[in-house]
């Protein structure tokens, strides 16, 4: 059995979407006063904030997705694209945000993700990976009483002037030394982007080749090849790598589970 820290970020605030909540909510006041404290920790990314500042929370959260609707539509094959236009991630997010109960800028984002990406991705990943290795994982932060209590607290206690998980860190300082509590966060992430950029080009091109994609015919092979070529012609940023990775994961899934595929 293992104890997981899953839920700490999602309850107390840590990710980019969480860090953006207050700076974007405060952006108009920042423009009026010039007070940089209102937009911490994005003092050096004013263009980024300005681009998102006129959007509601569902709209700017949509801008952080790996693929937007139009990008996805462009990747579909001509026979599939018209059918897929009935499904809009933008509209789905707007509907989800419209039903939120929180009014606090940070708590709205936390609530939205607690009902979506957290169970759909984070907890699903932990559950499947642990069960595949016969490991029981317990998530202490997701105790019902803990979740209810933390969810009721104002966002300013969770991210304070750009400092993430502020309240959790203050509690931890009662038990652990400051150098442990305040050290830079280190995730348990594999260097997938570096692998894709450097060592896995042959694998990427083979997995997303026209021959492989034509097995299902869902994607426009020319558009996919343009995307892959773009990464290997110098577009080495993580967003680009994530776009390629999502396509690879889908293709591997299809090859494993589709009937009649060798």
pLDDT digits (tens, 9 = 90+) for 38-80: 999 999 999 999 999 999 999 999 999 999 999 999 999 999 9
258 vs 255: CA distance, rounded Å? 6
159 vs 8: CA distance, rounded Å? 12
Specify whether the CB–CB gap between 60 and 24 falls below 8 A. yes
CB atoms under 10 Å from CB of 112, counted, come to: 21
User: pTM of the entire structure?
Assistant: 0.89
Specify whether the CB–CB gap between 226 and 178 falls below 8 A. no
Specify whether the CB–CB gap between 122 and 6 falls below 8 A. yes
pLDDT digits (tens, 9 = 90+) for 135-172: 999 999 999 999 999 999 999 999 999 999 999 999 99
User: Residue 234 has what pLDDT?
Assistant: 79
């Amino acid at each position: 059995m293992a104890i997981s820290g899953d839920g700490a970020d999602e309850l107390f605030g840590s990710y980019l979407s969480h860090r953006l909540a207050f700076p974007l909510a405060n952006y108009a006041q920042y423009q009026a006063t010039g007070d940089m404290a209102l937009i911490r920790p994005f003092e050096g990314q004013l263009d980024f904030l300005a681009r998102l500042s006129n959007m509601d929370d569902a709209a700017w959260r949509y801008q952080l997705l790996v693929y937007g609707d139009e990008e996805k539509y462009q990747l579909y094959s001509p026979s599939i694209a018209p059918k897929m236009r009935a499904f809009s991630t933008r509209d789905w997010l707007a509907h989800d945000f419209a039903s939120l109960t929180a009014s606090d800028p940070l708590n709205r984002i936390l609530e939205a993700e607690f009902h979506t990406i957290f169970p759909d991705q984070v907890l699903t990943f932990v559950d499947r990976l642990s069960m595949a290795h016969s490991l029981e994982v317990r998530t202490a932060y997701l105790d019902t009483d803990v979740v209810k209590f933390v969810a009721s607290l104002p966002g300013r206690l969770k991210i304070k002037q750009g400092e993430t998980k502020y309240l959790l860190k203050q509690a931890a300082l009662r038990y652990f030394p400051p150098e442990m509590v305040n050290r830079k966060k280190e995730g348990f992430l594999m260097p997938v982007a570096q692998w894709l950029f450097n060592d896995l080009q042959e694998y990427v091109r083979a997995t997303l080749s026209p021959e492989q994609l034509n097995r299902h015919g869902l994607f426009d092979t020319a558009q996919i090849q343009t995307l892959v070529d773009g990464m290997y012609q110098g577009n080495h940023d993580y967003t680009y790598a994530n776009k390629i990775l999502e396509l690879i994961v889908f293709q591997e899934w299809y090859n494993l589970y589709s009937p009649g595929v060798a």
